[in-house]
Structure 1
Amino acid sequence: MKFTFTCAASLAALLALAVSCSKDEQNVPTTPTAAVNTQAATATRDSHLALGNPSGATTNATNYTNYLLSKTQYSASYHRDRGIPNWVSWHLSSAWVGSTPRQDNFAADATLPSGWFRATSSSYTGSGFDRGHNCPSADRTGSVADNSATFLMTNMIPQAANVNQRGWAGLENYCRTLIDAGNELYIICGSYGTGGTGLNGYKTTIASGKVTVPANCWKVIVVLPNGSSDVSRVTTSTRVIAINMPNNQSVSTSWAGYRTTVNAIEAATGLDLLSAVSTTIQSTIESRVDNGPTS
């Protein structure tokens, strides 16, 4: 009987322990954080020229119409005689975005070659045009240094207020919703032509003729899910958004109506966009007008 009681007691103890362990396992806090932060874990800061150098810009100072500016935050081709960039190219993912506030510290770019005109914030004062960012401030909020880099005047163009504050701003905001959804973007932005209409009417230049007012503003956005080996992941089904917007006050508040093809922008600018992508894939994605969502 003693043996039977001992076995029964042992069995009861084992059952109690099993129940206790089962309860402990059920009460272990789940960690959804791992799933929620998957995007943050996979988002990286990648090369701004991964998809190509659209104009073959170089750092040779004699190349004054196509001078390469290589910043940590973006790359650009600068035109000395126009006083604005030909294009600015940058990578955007959630890895570039943080909580740093807008610095608003517009400044001349001291990295331009000696003797070159360096636009300042006051170069635009009274012109009737906004100091229009190419690479937006809100795309670079990871640090004060990152945000400040977007306020260098070599990242600016004289942009009509209704372009900068309406349709263009809406497109910039939409790009950030795409990275919030787990994507990374390659964005190339620029301007071409001469003559735009701002708050004070039509002008071809400002700053005593040293800064050209462009006629059109354009942007090309390549959308990829977060990942690595980005160029090799561009396929004929990759979403590419191309926008060409006149630089005047009559533009619509929505950017959707200004969608065009990469080919059309290349024809207008003489640039070779997405040159690092295979020519076979380029022929498809550069001839297609985006019809995807806009919000």
Structure 2
Amino acid sequence: MYRVFCSRWVLPGLSLTAGIGIGATLTAAGDRRNNNRKASLLDRVPVIPIPSVDAASEISPYQPGQVSVNRSTAAMKYGFPSLSNIKSRESYVTSYDPRNRTAAWVIEQLNAETVTGSSDRKYCEFKEDESVHVYHRSSNADYKGSGFDRGHLAAAANHKWSQKAMDETFYLSNVSPQNPNLNQNAWNNLEKYCRSLTKHYQNVFVCTGPLYLPRQEADGKMYVKYQVLGKNHVAVPTHFFKVVILEKPRGDVELRSYVMPNMPVDEKIPLERFLVPIESIERASGLLFVPNIMKRTSSLKAITAG
């Protein structure tokens, strides 16, 4: 039932690894009468105008030994997927979506140093983000009794290097309603996998966010439908994405992109089944990743050549 179609494109300075999988999981229940038609994530996403993002050219790459560099600055290396409501924390950067009361995306830079340390989540508490207007923020009361976990976008365990950094992952602006089975199993496995990549790559840049994908209803039309929680109407995503940019010591860059549905997922399913083409995430989210990465790698190659 589960099939993977993997492909690999080699571009100048960039390797893209992608696939289309979990067909049955990503296909809506209301679409069962079309079982004879092979559906993929690409069939399910709308074409959304993509903003022009030029931020990558304005970010200077981090140089080893540089003094007093904030880790959130380092996370900006490949620019921003979008430019709305940018907030910088101790070790991650986020774009907040005030309408949905959650982040549109969160970027963090992981390496062997950030994922180790003495910080402990038992000292952390979920808290409202007072930098967000009270009309547009979520609260703990919204999640109480909802049946959904407060799912981290920038994972707490990614920032063991600093208790302050870990504390800041508990802002509710870094949280989305997540199915408990997904949050504690398959999604947790993906987060662990991203941390394990720091053993093999110099830097691991992770961008995570929610998706609200359409599905076909009984009348044959496509609708974007999602639940909201509490008095603040916190949007419950239909899916979550994670875009992973992997840097090798020589400057080569590899890109992997994943999508998981916000529902119970068998944690025994290999993570490779959740690989999707990066273009499908860009179209569905309205974000942009590849041009930023290409601009950065091209600039670095030009500097090296000079």
Cα 1:244–1:221, aligned 2, differ >3 Å: closer, same or farther? same
1:259 counterpart residue number: 275
* Structure with the greater alpha carbon radius of gyration: 1
Cα 1:182–1:218, aligned 2, differ >3 Å: closer, same or farther? closer
Q: 1:66-77, aligned counterparts within 5 Å?
A: 67-77=85-95
2:163 counterpart residue number: 144
Q: Is the 8 A contact 1:195 1:205 kept in 2?
A: no
Q: Residue by residue, what CA displacement relative to the aligned partner does 1:251-293 show, whole Å, maximum 9, x if unpaired?
A: 55433211111111111111111442226979xxxxxxxxxxx
1:213 counterpart residue number: 236
The amino acid of 1:123's aligned partner reads D
- CA distance in structure 2 between the aligned counterparts of 1:42 and 1:223, rounded to whole angstroms: 21
Question: What is the Cα deviation at residue 121 of structure 1?
Answer: 2.3
1:96 counterpart residue number: 114
- CA distance in structure 1 between the aligned counterparts of 2:243 and 2:212, rounded to whole angstroms: 17
2:125 counterpart residue number: 105
Q: TM-score, normalised by structure 1?
A: 0.67
Identity, % of aligned pairs? 26
Which of the residues 53, 65, 72 maps onto 2:80?
A: 53
Cα root mean square deviation, aligned: 2.8
Q: Is the 8 A contact 2:178 2:236 kept in 1?
A: yes
Q: 1:188-203, aligned counterparts within 5 Å?
A: 188-193=207-212
Q: Is the 8 A contact 2:138 2:232 kept in 1?
A: no
Q: Is the 8 A contact 1:84 1:155 kept in 2?
A: yes
| Unaligned 5+ runs, structure 1 | 1-40, 58-66, 197-201, 228-232, 283-295
Question: What is the Cα deviation at residue 181 of structure 1?
Answer: 3.5
1:246 counterpart residue number: 261
Q: 1:1-295, aligned counterparts within 5 Å?
A: 45=71, 47-57=74-84, 67-97=85-115, 98-102=117-121, 103-113=123-133, 115-193=134-212, 204-208=227-231, 210-226=233-249, 233-234=251-252, 238-250=253-265, 252-254=267-269, 255-278=271-294
Q: How many residues of Structure 1 are paired with residues of Structure 2 in the alignment?
A: 219
Q: Is the 8 A contact 1:124 1:206 kept in 2?
A: yes
Q: TM-score, normalised by structure 2?
A: 0.65
Q: Residue by residue, what CA displacement relative to the aligned partner does 1:5-62 show, whole Å, maximum 9, x if unpaired?
A: xxxxxxxxxxxxxxxxxxxxxxxxxxxxxxxxxxxx98994622211211122xxxxx
Corresponding residue SS for 1:81: coil
Cα 1:209–1:203, aligned 2, differ >3 Å: closer, same or farther? farther
The amino acid of 1:276's aligned partner reads N
Q: Is the 8 A contact 2:212 2:226 kept in 1?
A: no
Question: What is the Cα deviation at residue 117 of structure 1?
Answer: 3.1
- CA distance in structure 1 between the aligned counterparts of 2:169 and 2:214, rounded to whole angstroms: 24
Larger RCO, structure (CA 8 Å, separation 6 or more): 2
Cα 1:220–1:75, aligned 2, differ >3 Å: closer, same or farther? same
Cα 1:121–1:274, aligned 2, differ >3 Å: closer, same or farther? farther
The amino acid of 2:293's aligned partner reads V
Q: Is the 8 A contact 2:186 2:265 kept in 1?
A: no
Question: What is the Cα deviation at residue 180 of structure 1?
Answer: 2.8
Cα 1:275–1:56, aligned 2, differ >3 Å: closer, same or farther? farther
Question: What is the Cα deviation at residue 216 of structure 1?
Answer: 0.9
Question: What is the Cα deviation at residue 190 of structure 1?
Answer: 0.6
The amino acid of 2:258's aligned partner reads I
Question: What is the Cα deviation at residue 195 of structure 1?
Answer: 9.4
2:38 counterpart residue number: none
The amino acid of 1:242's aligned partner reads S
Q: Is the 8 A contact 1:137 1:147 kept in 2?
A: yes
Corresponding residue SS for 1:111: coil
